[in-house]
């Protein structure tokens, strides 16, 4: 299996690294009971609500789960569009 994956992903993708990356994602969802799909609809709705109050660039919004010890937190990074550009339009 690891030989196969190495061929697919190139030599540097060690199976242990893949295991770790996969586990990181799985554990987030196990701990929060939140699937990637739910997170994505949360993001969409959040963008809608915020857009009602202030102009943002939906493409630049980052909503992610972060791990801190055994605690998960939802971190949102929502860059605002500069007021200058807003007036120009």
Q: What are phi and psi of 45, to 5 degrees?
A: -65, -40
Both tokens assigned to 30: 């196990």
Binding segment (CB under 8 A) for other proteins, from list 15-23, 41-49, 51-59, 81-89: 15-23
The answer to whether 73 contacts other proteins (rule: CB under 8 A) is: no
Residue 76 vs residues 8, 61, 88: alpha-carbon distances, Å: 34, 7, 27
Task: Report which secondary-structure segment, H or E, holds 47.
Answer: helix 36-53
Binding segment (CB under 8 A) for other proteins, from list 26-34, 36-44, 56-64, 78-86: 26-34
The answer to whether 27 contacts other proteins (rule: CB under 8 A) is: yes
Task: Report which secondary-structure segment, H or E, holds 88.
Answer: helix 83-88
The answer to whether 24 contacts other proteins (rule: CB under 8 A) is: yes
The answer to whether 30 contacts other proteins (rule: CB under 8 A) is: yes
Tell me the residue length of the chain: 89
From the list 9, 26, 75, 86, which residue makes contact with other proteins (rule: CB under 8 A)?
A: 26
- What is the contact surface with other proteins in residues (CB under 8 A)? 2, 14-17, 19-20, 22-24, 26-27, 30-31, 67, 69-70
């Amino acid at each position: 299996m690891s030989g196969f994956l190495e061929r697919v992903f190139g030599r540097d993708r060690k199976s242990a690294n893949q295991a770790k990356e996969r586990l990181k994602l799985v554990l987030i969802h196990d701990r929060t009971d939140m699937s990637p799909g739910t997170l994505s609809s949360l993001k969409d709705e959040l963008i809608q609500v915020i857009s009602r109050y202030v102009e943002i660039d939906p493409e630049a919004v980052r909503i992610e789960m972060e791990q801190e010890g055994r605690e998960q937190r939802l971190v949102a990074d929502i860059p605002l569009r500069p007021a200058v550009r807003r007036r120009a339009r």
